Every structure is written in C-alpha cells, then in structure tokens.
Structure 1
C-alpha cells in the first residue's frame, strides 16, 4: 500500500494540492518534505503529535522528513486559527523554546537513525539574517494584497483587526518553503488544516521565483484534519489545561489517563491518527468497542502505544502500576516516585516527621472539618490509610504508615484523596 492510500484509509488527509501528481511523485522519488512547529511554549503538546507522526509515516515509507522549528516565525506569531493577536515573546525566550522543542523532536521521531533520518532545522538561520529591504524586494513583490486578503488566516481577522506583523506571517512561511526547496530539494509541505493558506502561498512563491527557469518546479501541499472530539470539547485539553509532551509538565501517568479516558466514539479514530497499528488489529479493536465497550480494550491499547512512543516502556509500566493500585486500593505497593505522579494534583499537607494522632492529622490536613467530625468519619469507616480502612479513633500515625518514610495517603469516603508529606 502506498503512503497516500494509507493516509486516506486512516482519515489523515484533509486537502492535497494535486493527488495524482503527488502520488506519482512519491512513487518515483525519495521525496524531501517538511512540517513547521512554532515555539510558542517550552514544550510541544499532543496537538503536535499528528504532524510529528505524519513525518514518521513518510520516513517509514522511505522519504526524507524535515522538522522545521520556527525560531524566526515564532518571533512573529501565526494568525491562523486565532481571533486575537498573539503576545510576542523575547528573543531569548523564543531561542530557549527552540532548544527544548528540538530536543523533544529528536527523541520523538528518532532523528539521526537510518538512511533517511528526520532532520531538524531552525528557520532563524535564514530569517534572522534577512533584511527588510531584501524581504520586500525578493518575497513581498510576488504577492498582491488581494491574494493575501483572500486567505482564510487573514480574512477571518480583518473584522477584528490584524497587525502588519501577523499579516506578514504568511510571507515568512512562504520563504521557508522556498529556502528548503532551494537548499534541500524539499517538494512537499504538510501541516494542519489551518495551514492550507500558508502552504499554498509557499508553493506560489516557489513558482513565481522560478518562473523564468526552463524546467518546471513541481511542489505539493497536504494538510491533515483538525482533530475534534465527539462530545464537542477541544481535543488536547483536560481539567488541568493542555496535555504536554514534557514529562515535567504532564506526567506519564496523567498522559496515560488522558488516553484511557478517550470516548468510545473517538478511540478508533485516534488509533488511526496516532498509532502505527495495522488494519487487522484496528478492526479487531473496533469489534471490542462495538461488542464489549465496558472492557475498554481499545483505550488501553491506545494509551499503551502513546506512552511508549512519547515517554518509554518503563514510564508505561509505572503508569499502569499506579492505575492498578488506585483501582484495587492496594496503595502500599506504590513507590515515592509513583505517588508523586499519581497524586500530583490532590491536596497535600506538609507535616514534620513525628507521630501524630489520626484525629489531629485529619483536622490539621483539613480532611475533616473538626475533631468531632474526624471521630465520626473514623468510626463510620470512611477513613483509609494507604488503602486500608482505619476505624480506631485513638489510632496514631507512625513511621510504619509512611511510604518510603515520606508519604501517607489518606482517603475519606470513596474518592476524596489527600496526601501527607512528612518532610
């Protein structure tokens, strides 16, 4: 099966400039393609996983992918998909973001491996040295204002206003495509559906810049669909905000839980989008969703693949261990590292390393509002220490109740967890 057919089967093609021409181009050449990633934060998030995975798909098909980090364009801000102007970051901030994102990309797409490794580039290399005069003469002259106003990324902002800075973004991204075409023989740009206008503008710049040459330059553009969730909520968000690829910002356990909680209506679509599972296995998982949805087999398979790819096999095993412990209530099996991940967002009370009566601890940690209520909670069997029910009002919490001499997990009722950190 050719790469385009596989992408179509997975629902990963939104638009393509010349389907038949691109298919022939891919079939007869080792094609160099690129996708851009602007450094708007110090980490990529799961919304970036589809284009990253697309680069890997083309790499597996024998082509040469470039991950272009926008050290230059990130200084400006892409108006695509936004209704308001972006806040501009300082040069040092953007450069810092670029360094971290390039490190992430190198890990996620295995750059430097094989005969066609994913290559990372930074468009500050050429944009940072381009003068205003050169930019206006060599790039701006090829675009009419009417052409730019017709692009959705600009047209959607006209009513509320758009600065000249963001208005010019399209031309900067077009220059990226031209530079990569000239230096790397790059003939395909891929991106999200909101990048269609920028991609086709880049193709137009290449055509106009080369129109006096004898040989026609064939370049192509392809976009992937905007990811939507069946319940109408935005993909990639949780109660705590964005789902990041950096383990320090979103722990592997949180990452695992995000995928485990995928809606039955979305899970097969996400498996097609984000994984390399073959059609036979995907069909078997679809049957599980249709006939035995309560087992959540497809969600578990999706979560396994995503944690392994973004983090590691070890991180997956730890996330599964935490999940199993929370489900079974056997919390003593958890390590300090497990607890820091699994209970990252629960209320935490700092306490000195000394023995303390359970009633006093419940009140001090604001788990129970008063000593009277604390005694009632204990007597009624509502208090659990490290997963074990404790109904003795006079119970004293000692070193034996501290996991790795640091943590005690207290549960009040069915789901209200608190963490005591004996520091």
Structure 2
C-alpha cells in the first residue's frame, strides 16, 4: 500500500499531524477509514474546499475508504472556527437543498458506488440526542478551561460580538461526530483545515476517554496565492464548483491566470499528475510556463466539470487568446489536447444583437454593462475612464463613445475588461 503520508507531504497537504509515528504505521499497515466534514452553508462548494476534497480523493486512490461528513446537524448551529462574527443560522429545508448540490460536486472527485466512499449526514444522530444524557456522558469529558484556549474560541471571545452559547457547543458536537464515526465505521482519522485543529484534538480526546482507544488527526495549511490572496477569491467573488454559479469557462480562466510562482504548487495540490513530472516544471518560465498553466487549467476543469466541458473551455480560450501548444513529452500524464485543434468559442460568454441596432450605435459604457462585464453603468464608466475597456483589442477612451456597425469583425464584436474578462457580441442580421 502506498505511503500516503509521504504523498501528502510531497504534494503540500500537511500542516500538522497527531501521533506522528503511530499515524504513519497505522496508514502503512491498514486499509483505513477517514473523514472530513463539509459545512452545508451553500448549495455549492468552492475552490477553497478543494484541498479537503482532493485529500479524500487521494485516500480513495490509495486503497482507503473516505467519508464525506455533511454537517446537516451542526449546520443548524454554525462553526465559530475562523469567524469573528456568528454565522447565519440555516433552517432544515435550506440545508437539505444544499446537501443535494454538494453531493453532486463531490461525486466528480470521489466514487461513492458500492460503499467505496460514504456520504453521511450528522443530523442522523445529532437530531436524536437528549440534552441531559449528552451532558452526563459527553459533556463531562470536556474542560471549559481548555476549550476557551482553543484558537477557534479565542478569536470569537476577543471579538466585539463575543461567543454565542450555541456556538460554544460546536466543539462537543464535532467531537461527538468523530466518536460516532469511530463506532459505526471504525473511522480513526479525521482531517480538516488548520482552523479545525482544536475540534479534531477534542474528538481524539473524547475517543480516548470513552473508548480507551487511539485515533488520529491531520490538518491542512491555509492555501494562499503568492501575492497573499485567499484561494478562490476574485473581483467577482468566490469561484464555485457549481457550473451554474461559475461557468466551466470562467473556472478554466481562473486557473490559467495563476501567478507564475504558484503553478507547480497548484499542480501538486489540485491535480493527480505524478509529482515527478510536476517537479520537472518548477524552473520553467516564459512560454514553457504558460504551457504548464494550460495543463493546470485543463486538469482542474476536467476534475470539476468533466472532459467535455474542459475541452470546450480549452477551445474557447484558444479562440480568443490563441492556442498554447503543449509538447507531447511535457507533463505526459495530462490528457490536455496537444495537437492543433479547431478553436471554438462555444464556452465564451456571449450575447446577440441585431445589426440594425448598431446602425445608430450604443454608448460603450452601456454595452459593457449589458454584457455584464460590470455591475452597473457607473462601474462601466469608471472602467473606461481608467483605461480598462477594450473593443476588438482597441482601448476605449471615452465612456460615451458610440459602438456601431463599423466595429463588427467577422459578424461579432469582442469586448474585454482588463486582461482577463471577455464577452462576445454576436451579430444577427
């Protein structure tokens, strides 16, 4: 069985582990069950959730059984970890709707058939808990003095809003989840983000006290881009895994615009390409590094949206920005198209307009707003005044410049906001 801890360390997944040597021995010598919890606060996960998703997928690829625990019960309370104010409370109907979307997205990365992986909702047991027995059997195992020293609680205690008593219970409930999964599925490993360290250790302690047995924890580092930005955040907001929220084309564009310094690191974290091939591109620059970005964008889109959408996004980008050639001997395990393929713009955001309308012309700021390249007409004016608006790669100087039929090229007009965001106006006769 592959040495999964080494795989995680090589690819940059691990920040902390408990029981270091015992954990390594346990994973090397057993087919294990592990779990990660996912908050059902939205109907879609986003790029910031990819580290735990990829970790579970690596577990499965290496012969282990992952559990994706959806917090249908804890979601009714809200995790205070990493938050300076209380989360908005969700009702059961909202959570149920969110669960459906999350399962669909996880299924792109993890095979849930034939119990190869499990999708479990903690509402199954948390909703059945009785308060007094829970306090007697579980609450007695927790020291309030130790709890309030946990980073997740300290942040809230020091905030203006403070820590709500409902949230104070969250650590107990997450620890109880681990105990429940230990009992039901022999799950001995919990993984999560760095902000979950205190909750994970609480679960390990609870299992030790109640079951007199050992369990383990792994936390992942908070992944930021080299310029310090949080992963998955753009000027437009979060980059979602749901294609209705972030189109496969926009998802592809997010990855292809990766900072040069992050390409090798992100290939290791967010694709399954062999680490040896990834190490070979660490010193590349210029056009060669752009080819690596193409592979990164294609492979990440392939995982999240499937091959058809990844190919469409690749071809659409080629139709607008030109095709990037990826040599045959370059990151060889990638299935990115390597031969010149017909560049299609099927995935490029576009809209249609009658040619007659353009005879009179449309003010540039209005056209950019209608194409949803800005959130308002005023924002479109600012974009143009700051020199960030282009029509067919020609910079627009005046916000009220009229865009007319003279701007039509091959029965379309290409609008561009800054370097990255584009929109095609297709002309109807």
Quick check: 2:109–2:303 contact (8 Å CA) kept in 1?
yes
Report how far residue 280 of structure 1 moved.
2.2
- Residues 286-319 of structure 1: per-residue CA shift (max 9 Å, x gap): 1324xx4565122111111101111111111110
Quick check: 1:15–1:224 contact (8 Å CA) kept in 2?
yes
From the CA coordinates, give the structure whose radius of gyration is larger: 1
Q: Is residue 342 of structure 1 aligned with residue 348 of structure 2?
A: yes
Q: State the Cα RMSD in Å.
A: 3.0
Note closer, same or farther for the CA distance 1:164–1:421 as it changes in structure 2 (3 Å cut): farther
In 2: Cα distance, 1:364 partner to 1:22 partner: 61
Name the counterpart of 2:318: 324
> Which of 224, 230, 239 is the matching residue for 1:243?
239
- SS of 1:85's partner is coil
- SS of 2:230's partner is coil
Report how far residue 362 of structure 1 moved.
3.0
Quick check: 2:413–2:424 contact (8 Å CA) kept in 1?
yes
Quick check: 1:253–1:322 contact (8 Å CA) kept in 2?
yes
Name the counterpart of 1:125: 124
Name the counterpart of 2:142: 143
- Residues 385-420 of structure 1: per-residue CA shift (max 9 Å, x gap): 9xxxxxx988698xx94xxxxxx5454999885636
Note closer, same or farther for the CA distance 1:192–1:360 as it changes in structure 2 (3 Å cut): same
- SS of 1:129's partner is coil
Report how far residue 99 of structure 1 moved.
2.1
Query: Which blocks of at least 5 consecutive residues in structure 1 are unaligned?
Result: 212-216, 369-381, 386-391, 402-407
Note closer, same or farther for the CA distance 1:314–1:138 as it changes in structure 2 (3 Å cut): same
In 2: Cα distance, 1:278 partner to 1:271 partner: 9
Q: Is residue 252 of structure 1 aligned with residue 272 of structure 2?
A: no
Q: Normalising by structure 1, report the TM-score.
A: 0.81
Counterpart mapping for 1:100-249 below 5 A: 100-112=101-113, 117-160=116-159, 161-211=162-212, 217-249=213-245
Note closer, same or farther for the CA distance 1:325–1:17 as it changes in structure 2 (3 Å cut): same
The alignment of Structure 1 onto Structure 2 pairs a total of residues equal to 376
Q: Is residue 314 of structure 1 aligned with residue 322 of structure 2?
A: no
In 1: Cα distance, 2:266 partner to 2:216 partner: 26
Name the counterpart of 1:301: 295
In 2: Cα distance, 1:304 partner to 1:45 partner: 17
Report how far residue 63 of structure 1 moved.
1.2
Name the counterpart of 2:93: 92
Name the counterpart of 1:32: 33
In 2: Cα distance, 1:267 partner to 1:323 partner: 18
Note closer, same or farther for the CA distance 1:126–1:343 as it changes in structure 2 (3 Å cut): same
Name the counterpart of 2:371: none
Report how far residue 168 of structure 1 moved.
0.9
Greater Cα shift, 75-84 or 94-103: 94-103
- Residues 32-87 of structure 1: per-residue CA shift (max 9 Å, x gap): 11010010100011111111111111112211111111101111111111111111
Q: Is residue 9 of structure 1 aligned with residue 10 of structure 2?
A: yes
Query: Which blocks of at least 5 consecutive residues in structure 2 are unaligned?
Result: 324-341, 369-389, 394-402
> Which of 253, 275, 282 is the matching residue for 1:279?
275
In 1: Cα distance, 2:268 partner to 2:83 partner: 27
